Amino acid sequence: MNKMAKSILTEDTAVKLGTASNRSSILQLSATFVVGFLCIYIRSFFSMTSLLVLPELLDDGLLLLGSIFLLFHVLFHSKEYGKRIIPLLLIIIACAYAYLASGETIPLTVTLCIIAAATAGNVRDIAKLWFAVTAMSVAYLVVVSGITAILEPDRLSYSYRYAGGTARFSFFFSHPNMFAAIVMMMCGIYMYLRYEWLRFSSFVVLALIAAATFLFTDSRTSFTLTLLEIICFAVQRERGLFSGRWVTHFVGVMPILLFVLVYLISGPLYRDSLGSLLTGRVSLWHNCFVTQGITILGQQFEPSRIVSSTGWVSYFGTLDCVYASGLYVFGLVFSGFFCWCVFARTRREDSRLGIELPLILVLLLFGVTEVHALNPVLCVPLLFLAGGILPKESHHAWRPVLSNQAKSSRG
């Protein structure tokens, strides 16, 4: 048996026979992590909806409480981080400063969530927790939207991409793209959690869900990436593509390549002909490059006004891109940490890496057109990156528990 086939067999055997890992419970997760993560989750989720707006004091309180619990969790488990604890704490401090400097919570919350998740417990349990809470929250908003459509249709929120275009329903999210993105991630996490039971019928049902979501939201990016998720998981099941070393290495350096690409086309290589790419985002990035420039520890984003060649004036309050935001708003320290997390995770070859990579790939691609790819509520695959945080000798949370038969299959 060649090395590739053996790797695929080992992974499938580990997933199917690793019953101790599959039967793990959400209750086994660290309580401090769960409380901290849920505080961040609740705050972020309500900021994405228009149904209920949290008072500013409660919003700030949830952010502070969540950050304190996650930091306390990291300090309590400091021995498991080994010699890396000091650099990790310095990164947390730098990202806390980036939050204060930029006004954006992403550098702080993402850094704390990833670092804390490394010692929180089994990554499947974290994914289960996210899926359970998200499914209930989304189901509630969909039901409320359905009732509103029947009883008070005038209150139903929707928008148009352009005059005379298709109506886009948001289901009480702040934007139709939000709803479509969260459905996309739910489909991906479902395939991750049910990987050993996926069949052709599973992929068909998920594709129909993606099509229905597209019909209501007209969100092209999320629809395309949902189909990509389905294809990736199907290919992984049949061919073990994401167990291949070249794919693993490519995904590992993808964020670095994308940061460099965004810098080049928004800065040194920018041309007016590129400005309209990605619905005008490139011209926005260039404007930020010229007026603000790259930042190391973060800076506030100054809303921009872009005048197109046809005379239309567009106002932007966000760069709408993880990589442009990382360069010009969040800072190079946070961006470098994010790149290192992706690279480090792909260098930890364990039995679950092959089924995490499709979601990490989608996360990285989603970040090209949406800064919300760095929102733990939308993109729980961010927490998969915690698999590279710990020193190898302490890398227990992502190590599957195999039966004797699975262990013997390694030969």
Q: What is the pLDDT of residues 212-244, one digit of tens each?
A: 999 999 899 999 999 999 999 999 999 888 988
Region 348-360: mean pLDDT is 90
Q: Are 169 and 145 in contact (CB under 8 A)?
A: yes
Secondary structure class of 161 (helix, strand, coil): coil
Assigned domain for 306 exists = no
Assigned domain for 408 exists = no
Q: Are 238 and 198 in contact (CB under 8 A)?
A: no
Region 100-108: mean pLDDT is 94
Phi, psi at 167, each rounded to 5°: -65, 135
Region 321-348: mean pLDDT is 95
CA dihedral 182, 183, 187, 192 (to 10 degrees): 10
Assigned domain for 269 exists = no
Residue 71 is predicted with a pLDDT of 97
Residue 125 is predicted with a pLDDT of 94
Of the candidates 144, 123, 143, the one whose C-alpha atom is nearest the C-alpha of residue 33 is: 123
Q: Are 172 and 164 in contact (CB under 8 A)?
A: no
Q: What is the pLDDT of residues 26-46, one digit of tens each?
A: 888 999 999 999 999 999 998
Assigned domain for 371 exists = yes
Assigned domain for 299 exists = no
Assigned domain for 178 exists = yes
pLDDT of 49 above 50: yes
pLDDT of 1 above 80: no
Assigned domain for 44 exists = yes
Q: What is the pLDDT of residues 251-273, one digit of tens each?
A: 999 999 999 999 999 989 888 77
Report the number of distinct structural domains present in the chain.
1
Q: Domain residues for 149?
A: 3-257+328-396
pLDDT band at 326; cut points 50, 70, 90: very high
Q: What is the pLDDT of residues 267-294, one digit of tens each?
A: 898 887 776 676 778 888 888 898 899 9
CB count within 10 Å of CB 57 equals 8
Place of tokens 């994405």: 48
How many angstroms separate the CA atoms of 262 and 258, rounded? 6
pLDDT of 338 above 60: yes
pLDDT of 309 above 70: no
Q: What is the pLDDT of residues 170-195, one digit of tens each?
A: 888 888 899 999 999 999 999 999 99
